[in-house]
């Protein structure tokens, strides 16, 4: 693994020097034999949320890949402040060092809330008293699903390390008023 500053400098240099030759350079390397892991930061606006995502990529061919990840989003406006989710998606990307992609996927998860636990016959807080006054527990508040199209670009710094940015339009199960743009910046690395 390179130091992050070195990686960023290389990414900028690569972008600036993106000559037609580099753009046209077929990016076979080890992609067809490799699987990748990725992690990064994500966010959305209104309600403003920031989070992280970690997952794996299976490279089906030089053009097609599938990904599965878990995501955690923090927002001051969500009950209990956290949205926990899972993301499953497929991408078509150009097999070049500078590699634009488009994709589709599904994103689902839940938020939690605190509710009264005074009558469930369980000592929820392990204080030795069952169903005392004011005892509380956490329960799933909302289950949310969306399907999305996305686009983005990956810059492969080496054959086993790339950085990428994407934007997806989340079409929410809760209705068109709940649709939103979701953005991410990621590091992708070979795991085998």
Task: Tell me: does residue 133 bind Ca ion (CB under 5 A).
Answer: no
Of 69, 107, 94, nearest to 151 by C-alpha is 94
Q: Which of 135, 164, 166, 170 binds Ca ion (CB under 5 A)?
A: 135
Task: Tell me: does residue 127 bind Ca ion (CB under 5 A).
Answer: yes
Of 171, 119, 128, nearest to 147 by C-alpha is 171
3 vs 134, beta carbon nearer Ca ion: 134
Q: What are the structure tokens assigned to 83, written together? A: 């949205």
Which range, of 14-22, 73-81, 99-107, 128-136, touches Ca ion by CB under 5 A?
Answer: 128-136
Task: Please tell me the distance from the alpha carbon of residue 170 to that of residue 45, in angstroms, as a whole number.
Answer: 12
121 vs 176, beta carbon nearer Ca ion: 121
Task: Please tell me the distance from the alpha carbon of residue 176 to that of residue 145, in angstroms, as a whole number.
Answer: 12
Of 183, 187, 114, 179, nearest to 147 by C-alpha is 179
Q: Which of 122, 139, 143, 191 binds Ca ion (CB under 5 A)?
A: 122
Q: How many Å separate Cα 116 from the centre of its chain?
A: 33
Question: In whole angstroms, how close is the CB of 116 to Ca ion at the nearest point?
Answer: 9
Task: Tell me: does residue 190 bind Ca ion (CB under 5 A).
Answer: no
Task: Tell me: does residue 125 bind Ca ion (CB under 5 A).
Answer: yes
Task: Tell me: does residue 114 bind Ca ion (CB under 5 A).
Answer: no
Question: In whole angstroms, how close is the CB of 115 to Ca ion at the nearest point?
Answer: 11
Task: Tell me: does residue 120 bind Ca ion (CB under 5 A).
Answer: yes
Query: DSSP letter at 146?
Result: E
Task: Tell me: does residue 129 bind Ca ion (CB under 5 A).
Answer: yes
84 vs 124, beta carbon nearer Ca ion: 124
Query: DSSP letter at 128?
Result: S
Element (H, E) at 77: none
Which range, of 13-21, 38-46, 69-77, 126-134, touches Ca ion by CB under 5 A?
Answer: 126-134
54-89: buried (b, 16+ CB within 10 Å) or exposed (e) per residue?
ebebebeebeebebebebebebeebeeebbebebeb
Give residues in contact with Ca ion (CB under 5 A).
117, 120, 122-125, 127, 129, 131, 135
């Amino acid at each position: 693994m390179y130091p992050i500053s070195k990686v960023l400098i290389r990414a900028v240099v690569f972008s600036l020097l993106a000559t037609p030759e580099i753009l046209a350079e077929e990016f076979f390397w080890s992609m067809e034999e490799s699987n990748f892991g990725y992690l990064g930061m994500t966010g959305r606006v209104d309600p403003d949320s920031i989070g992280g995502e970690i997952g794996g990529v299976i490279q089906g061919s030089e053009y097609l890949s599938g990904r599965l990840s878990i995501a955690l989003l923090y927002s001051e406006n969500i009950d209990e402040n956290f949205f926990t989710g899972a993301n499953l998606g497929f991408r078509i990307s150009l097999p070049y060092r500078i590699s634009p992609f488009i994709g589709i996927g599904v994103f689902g998860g839940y938020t939690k809330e605190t509710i009264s636990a005074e009558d469930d016959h369980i000592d929820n807080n392990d204080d030795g008293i069952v169903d005392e006054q004011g005892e509380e527990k956490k329960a799933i508040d909302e289950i949310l699903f969306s399907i999305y199209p996305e686009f983005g670009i990956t810059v492969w710094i080496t054959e086993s390390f790339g950085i990428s940015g994407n934007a997806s339009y989340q079409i929410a199960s809760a209705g068109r008023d709940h649709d939103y743009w979701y953005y991410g910046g990621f590091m992708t690395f070979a795991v085998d």
